[in-house]
Chain A
């Protein structure tokens, strides 16, 4: 699959096929991370986070690819790994081949925001199965409310909407509790 195909798929929301192609880069990234002092687990974590970041970046309407997509992906991985290594007080020295040198500004990467989002993901683990399903169908797979009402056996579109509202309210409440207790979540 060509880069443009992958990008257009991601933009259309068909992430699964794109991920399958992109995941083929994992062994190379892993080798790079392990060579500069990481281990398998952290490599996997960083690669997954980088994939998510890449997809978020590509989905932005203003996204413009200036290099090969795989090069861009290596760049993100390198950045994420440097970031992680700094936190662990290690200085990774080995060079990465075929990569872009990206900075936090290039990626709009904000540590605080990332932590906040990570916290929200944990919050989302706490809501009910039905809410999770509803959120995923509506916000990720972009199904319309009618389809969701059919799929999840709601009596009407309106009751599905009300349920969505209730779920969101619950999630927000949980999120606020987390925020109030520790306004700056330092992970």
Chain B
């Protein structure tokens, strides 16, 4: 312990360039001859760089907040607030000295606070974070339209070691089905109705502003499910460590029906029944995370050409699709699809 402490001190001195003379030469020789010492010093230097970077980052953040996203506007606001603040101080002094009579003064004061509120309000816009988080939460809770889970389980002859449950939004009139439906051979889901219908219809109405037809997999969702059954697998490394994961994929379906701009991201990773991994754990399991992401994006990359979305005139247009791949050790992989918001 004692010797390690002095070693650290020495490394500190060395990295800051304060080691001089015979000590410096001696230490440099020690580094040259001792492999572990060398790697320790290197790591130490990296760590210090990271410490400085972190500190710089927070400084930059504070500078950025000072200059503001709106630049001049924020400066102006600050100026106004300052002017009003100075005015308030002057007035308050006058008030204390009793130059004004009470009635006038209270009027003035209320006026001032009113103005203050108005000028301060725009600054609040910067704290928009919670809203965004709420939005994310909303997005990440996919709506189930139908499920082929049941069907799949009955048909266990499949060669893979996982079962795939596919849940898609139906292409019909925004009709929702809650129970897993055993029949999913074609896309005839329109008879099934639930109490959630109202909500879906609302969102549907919002979405189909100028879309007459949404992008779809050739042959319908049934065909897509079959394709996924064939191609999805649970990464072996993840099975060994019993890790579960949710991958979000966003992609464009172009006018030609090609899938492009695939943007995949692991939104949650955890050991079975464990808490979600924090940043360090994610970093440590980067390989496995990439295996999940690679698996999910592989599906998208190898898909055949889609039927593009069409606008009111019947011309094909580009559309954004979002899919969630929920890898679950017991239930296999659940795939949800969400449309463009």
- Pairwise interchain contact B284-A140, C-beta atoms closer than 8 A: no
Q: Which residues of B, 33-87, contact A by the 8 Å Cβ criterion?
A: 43-44, 46-57, 59-60, 63-64, 66-67, 71
A44 contacts which chain B residues (CB < 8 A)?
64
Question: What does the 1/0 interface line of A1-29 toward B look like (CB < 8 Å)?
Answer: 00000000000000110011001101100
B290 within 8 A of A: yes
- Pairwise interchain contact A52-B57, C-beta atoms closer than 8 A: yes
B201 within 8 A of A: no
- Pairwise interchain contact A178-B280, C-beta atoms closer than 8 A: yes
- Pairwise interchain contact B5-A174, C-beta atoms closer than 8 A: no
Complex CA gap A24/B60 in Å reads 12
20 other contacts beyond A48-B64, A117-B53, with CB at 8 A cut-off? A16-B63, A19-B56, A19-B59, A26-B64, A48-B57, A52-B56, A121-B53, A124-B47, A125-B279, A136-B54, A136-B55, A140-B56, A161-B9, A168-B8, A172-B47, A175-B47, A181-B284, A182-B283, A182-B284, A185-B286
A→B interface (CB under 8 Å): 15-16, 19-20, 23-24, 26-27, 44, 48, 51-52, 55-56, 113, 116-117, 119-126, 135-136, 139-141, 161-162, 164-165, 168-169, 171-172, 174-175, 177-178, 181-182, 185-187
Query: Nearest Cβ in chain A — how far from B53, in angstroms?
Result: 5
B11 to chain A: closest residue by CB? A168
- Pairwise interchain contact B63-A139, C-beta atoms closer than 8 A: no
- Pairwise interchain contact A120-B50, C-beta atoms closer than 8 A: yes
Query: Nearest Cβ in chain A — how far from B108, in angstroms?
Result: 36
A24, A56, A161, A172: the one contacting B67 at CB < 8 Å is A24
Query: Nearest Cβ in chain A — how far from B210, in angstroms?
Result: 24
Complex CA gap A187/B265 in Å reads 12
- Pairwise interchain contact B283-A140, C-beta atoms closer than 8 A: no
Query: Nearest Cβ in chain A — how far from B260, in angstroms?
Result: 10
- Per the CB 8 Å criterion, the residue count for chain B at the interface is 34
- Pairwise interchain contact B60-A19, C-beta atoms closer than 8 A: yes
Complex CA gap A51/B53 in Å reads 10
B158 within 8 A of A: no
Quick one: which of B4, B48, B50 has the most chain A CB within 10 A?
Answer: B50
A164 contacts which chain B residues (CB < 8 A)?
8
Complex CA gap A122/B54 in Å reads 9
A27, A48, A126, A140: the one contacting B55 at CB < 8 Å is A140
B44 contacts which chain A residues (CB < 8 A)?
168, 172
B56 contacts which chain A residues (CB < 8 A)?
15, 19, 51-52, 55, 140
- Give me 13 A-to-B residue pairs in the complex whose CB atoms sit less than 8 angstroms apart, sorted by A's number: A20-B63, A20-B67, A23-B60, A26-B64, A27-B71, A48-B57, A51-B60, A121-B54, A122-B283, A168-B47, A169-B4, A178-B284, A185-B286
